Amino acid sequence: MPDEILFELAKQGKLKDAKVRRDQTLRMLQDEKTDRFIRDYVHQWLDLKKLEIVEPDLSIFTVDEFDLVRNQIKEEPVEFFRELLSNNLSLLNFIDSDFVMITEELNYIYRIEGHPVASPSKRPGASKISPKDYRPKEITSEFSKVMLSKKDRFRGGLLSQAGFMLMTTNNGEYTNPFYRGAWVLKSFYGDHLETPDDLEISALSPPTKTESIKETIDAHRAETSCNICHKKMDPLGIALENFDVLGRWRDKYTDVSNYA
């Protein structure tokens, strides 16, 4: 609902002036209601409600441990959008930015150089700190803007964030190029894939030590009925396979039996 100022300007016919509209837009962006708009818009656009039900593989976090960082994972894209909107930055930053908006806890996942990492408490008998040893007692750090070095530049944008990676997995256990590709098509390109009612989808064979995930997918895509959608979404999903279920970088699969 427009406020009294907008009603008055409309009554005077001044909203036809581009400068007046711009000034009023900037004024409204400073209003406390803008926070609600940002949060609601990002949650609906990216379908973040999925993060309420998905859990990561328990070899990464226990359920209790993940609950401590779940909200930060959900807030990361919100804070990123807020930074772009507040500073009138290019939309291209959604794809490739030279900065991220993170907390010290999230940086335990990302390990971006030059930014503090939340100190995990080691479990008894652990020989080294690993993601499964991450047990924050409480979440106290706030989001901050961190500029990326050339080495960490792949972290820029939305597509490498933990929330997106986790939502597009098989129940948080292993990555799925199909889900990731379909999500990018829907959220970034506005392309909603429609599966024919009579389509019979055959099971996708898991990769093996002698067959890569790309080769497995190519074999699946050889079926004409499958290729209709897969020819569009698979390249996008495969391009993101260097990121694991939480967005950590990997150069190889640690277990070819489940893609992880």
For the record, the structure tokens of 49 come out as: 């409600």
CA 229 to mean position of chain CA atoms: 22
pLDDT at residue 5, rounded to an integer? 92
Q: pLDDT, tens digit, for every residue of 69-107?
A: 888 899 999 999 999 998 989 999 999 999 999 998 888
Instruction: Give the separation between CA 66 and CA 63, rounded to whole angstroms.
Output: 5
- More reliable by pLDDT, 172 or 48: 48
Q: Looking at residue 252, what DSSP letter applies?
A: S
Instruction: Give the separation between CA 111 and CA 104, rounded to whole angstroms.
Output: 9
For the record, the structure tokens of 255 come out as: 């277990």
Q: pLDDT, tens digit, for every residue of 9-68?
A: 999 999 999 999 999 988 888 888 889 999 999 999 998 988 888 877 666 666 666 777
Q: Worst-scoring range by mean pLDDT, 71-80, 160-169, 185-194? A: 185-194
pLDDT at residue 234, rounded to an integer? 85
Instruction: Give the separation between CA 32 and CA 15, rounded to whole angstroms.
Output: 22
pLDDT at residue 46, rounded to an integer? 92
Mean pLDDT of 113-129: 54
Q: Worst-scoring range by mean pLDDT, 28-32, 168-172, 210-214, 227-231? A: 210-214
- Mean pLDDT computed over every residue of the chain: 80
Helices (H), 207-257: 213-221, 224-238
Q: How many CB atoms lie within 10 A of CB 99?
A: 16
Q: What are phi and psi of 13, to 5 degrees?
A: 75, 15
